[in-house]
Structure 1
Amino acid sequence: MLDPKIIRNDLHLVEDSLKKRSLKANLSSLKKLEGVRKGLQSDTEKLQASLNKISKEIGNLKGAKKSSKEKEEEASVITKEIKKKSSKLDSTLEDLHNLVLELPNIPDPDVPVGNSEDDNVEIRSWGKIPEFSFKPKNHIEIGQLTDGIDMEAGSRITGSRFSVLKSDIAGLHRALTQFMLDMHTKHHGYEELYVPYIVNSDSLIGTGQLPKFGEELFKLEGSDNYFLSPTGEVPISNMLKDQVIDSKELPIKWVSHTPCFRSEAGSYGKDTKGIMRLHQFEKVELVQVVEGGDSENALEELTKHAEAVMKALEIPYRVVSLCTADLGFSAAKTYDIEAWVPSQAKYREISSCSNFRDFQSRRMKARWKNAETNKNELVHTLNGSGLAVGRTLLAILELNQLKDGSVKVPEALREYFNKKEISAT
């Protein structure tokens, strides 16, 4: 959530932010409510000052043993008026709060301004794009040849955008998950968490999925408040909700392997085949919690941690800085890591690493105790996939394929998988 001071004093920054994000910048309702709030706040403060003055006069009259009836009647009238104004102010503040919840974060100054993903800026790349002596197969074909990916079974069991992994492909998926967790806990200093897969609406508001993106969520029938988690970011980050953290605990670095569930509303026609875009998928999620002044460096570190997995698995990739129009709702800055997918002859997103600054922590009321000032301050939160397991599996299958559809297992995974090759059947 945006800082209320910005809403009150620098609304032009919000207008500029919306325009940069290619969103409609109609803030008339917000301006009107803010004007009402200022008026009610001023009226309430003036009435309270009058009541304080009269209360003092009543005390003086009683001390002098004089009648204070007239002043007491006046005080009663003012008290009733204060209650009315306060009730209207509370209602206005709630309406204002609900409007502000709909506003996205303000992009960092160094985020490239653009109108679509075509305006994202490549920061760096790594690895050599492989050249095949044959036409590379896509992961669906490889899955069929190795009898390891069954999209038809997923469709029969549930519906479209579901899959079944079998045999060695299922084992490789599990090995990938364990490899990622080990890398982040043993080499990058993250603490592993096992978190709920079901979250409540407050948690989704805290990280920014609600109230704006409810159509992208799976809500549990018969419950007004339970949803399947769309990303590990939600349960992990909400560990901080309503907490005040000692400065000695910072920075916090958490990692968790979580299933994710998304309706994929708005993605009609995109990646309709295969495991690139499913309703149910798994990620190894990274979350960092830092003091405000440390979040820029933390984003660079977190991104490098996700990149380390790519390098270890020898997946060619590039890092792009998302432009303002492609930036997520809660993010101030995002780096996407994109893996090379041979069958598509292009890079595809495999991880997004974002700095939210104090946008989420203000919604979650997540603070840290500043030992120097003895005051509570909002933490800065960051998260990124380290990595999306299914998409990493897809990249490995395509990048390491042989002519007959067999797949070489990356060296880094062999101690987890105990095979050098997945054979075509």
Structure 2
Amino acid sequence: MLATPDKNTVLEQRRQAACPRGVGVQTQSFTARAQNAEIWDVNGKRLIDFGSGIAVLATGHRHPAVMAAVERQLRDFHHTCFQVTPYESYVELCEKLNSRTPGAFAKKTALFTTGAEAVENAIKVAKAATGRSAVIAFSGAFHGRTLLGMALTGKVHPYKAGFGAMPPEVWHVPYPAEALGVSVEDSVLAIERLFKADVDPHRVAAIVLEPVQGEGGFYIAPTALLRKLREICDSHGILLVVDEVQTGFGRTGKLFALEHHGVDFDLLTMAKSLAGGFPLSALTGRAELMDAAAPGGLGGTYAGNPLAVAAALAVLDVMDREALPQRAEVLGDRLVEKLDGLRQRVPSITQVRRLGAMVGIEFRDEAGTPLPQFVKRVQDLALAKGLLLLTCGVHGNVIRFLFPLTIEDAVFEEGLALLADALLEA
């Protein structure tokens, strides 16, 4: 009797034949269904999801309120293009984001589809508002896979390698990180040197940063850096663009990470958990800046899709009703407590970084050398045990945690036990 072929294996063979290798995948587990913080593959294997589709599912897979909102919208219409025949829900979401983002000043919001689109449009607005062309970003940053997104991104492999010259007038300075030996003073001095040696500050439209670097290694921007950047921007007429694509919507213990710092933004980008898994991004900024682009200069055919907008309005309600930012603090505490109990038995854990539930573990040997192979082994062992983990960092030596904030206590504890098993076995 012939054995039944493994469904994942068959699908992986089809994927390799049909899809380009540039679209890399982490696992060969093809999803059949998912609910909150759990995924079941086509073979029926269950995975506890500590990745949330790369920070997209703060409200979990298929949150009932999000699903119900999308179903209601689907009964009315699912697309018209807002620039052709607008609809109220788009306006309502912009109103809510204008009021919910930090800062006591007049704001306006435009909706897009992806995080990269939001970032690109932030730069377009910055250039239109200032009449300038240069942009400063940080090493280790990730701002998207489009051409300008790649230029802003401060990580060569796999994002820039092989794609040729990047757009001009994008400059990078070091992001402060204790593990990398970079201080806030080092970052500020690098900007000052840039102004003296490479680019006139009066040609710089914007400085772009993530409050917590995602792909870069979960390094957390100190408040001192944000304050100094605000001072530099104000001194030279530069706009401060804050990329909250990964940090937004409760992940850090606040609805937006910038709320931890008390510093005002000029333009703020968001996506990922904004719409609970539906493709939607947003750019919120000072009203006078957002009006700098001429009609038709912003937008997109699918920008602000009605189904995604309905999901986002539901997500904001869930954030409040279920107190998910506060839940992030509770989950972060429990994760760090678990990791603290493991540090003596896993000496390669050199640093645990945390803002709310946004937690990263860095692994190095006694000489301080990054350990990407160890991290990959932990990731593989965890997957075999039923726990999905994501990694990050320029050296690939950081495990990052992005579980749904709605995860049930029992499932969370089960995931922590699997994590401990994988770390100790590795």
Radius of gyration: which is bigger? Answer: 1
Higher strand share: 1
TM-score (norm: length of structure 2)? 0.23
TM, length-normalised to structure 1: 0.23
